Amino acid sequence: FQYPHQIEMNIPGKVSVSELKKAAMEEETLEMFEEPEVIPYIPAFLREERTGSATERGTAYHRVLECMNLSEIRHSNQVKERMEELVMQGKMTEIAADAVNSYDIYQFCKSDLCIRMLEAEKAGSLCKEQPFVIARPACEISEEYTGNKEVLIQGIIDAYFEEGDELVVLDYKTDYVKSSEELIGRYKKQLELYAEALEQTTGKKVKERVIYSFCLGKEIPV
């Protein structure tokens, strides 16, 4: 006897956004984290072999952006000083601080996107590292699943802020890429999930989905 719904029994009750991304990019990931092409302004200490993995480097950037007061930054040297303070306060490790290119953070602070974020922060409408859970049909999670059994997807939104009566959702990326299209292809679905989760929980419309690429040094509408 073979149970006719064996596949449905294997459907997980909850998955993370990272797991979905990893499954969708399994082949690409092998190339994505190979020895990166050298980019002129990225010094040797930012190479992935120093921090152990690209994931750890990405986590380090996220930690800096979560904890640092970006409105105070006027020079890349100030970023180094603030990171040293975070290390002394036990908010990040020395290895994590070494993985962050201070100029990357400074360049972000000068961007129009950061200026908009800081204006929202003054108005009390900026949220960072916001966890969320959203239910989606199993058939939308993976091609191997059939039916509409609900699966919970959990994740953390890097940042979002309110402008007028609408929201802007932001995701930071440290991937080594050559074009905006690469990041859009990899993360469009992820940003769509973030937007959907925010609209459900806040009742407000998400008017913009934005990736900020530290590799390219620019914001990318998705």
61 vs 9, more confident: 61
Q: Is the pLDDT of residue 186 over 70?
A: yes
**Chain length of the chain:** 222
In whole angstroms, give the CA distance from residue 154 to residue 171. Answer: 15
pLDDT of res. 139: 72
In whole angstroms, give the CA distance from residue 145 to residue 140. Answer: 8
Q: What is the mean pLDDT of residues 27-34?
A: 38
**What is the pTM for the complete model shown?**
0.74
Backbone angles phi, psi at 51, to 5 degrees: -95, -10
Distance from the first to the final alpha carbon of the chain: 48
pLDDT of res. 17: 59
Q: Pairing mode, if any, of strands 150-163 and 166-173? A: antiparallel
pLDDT of res. 32: 35
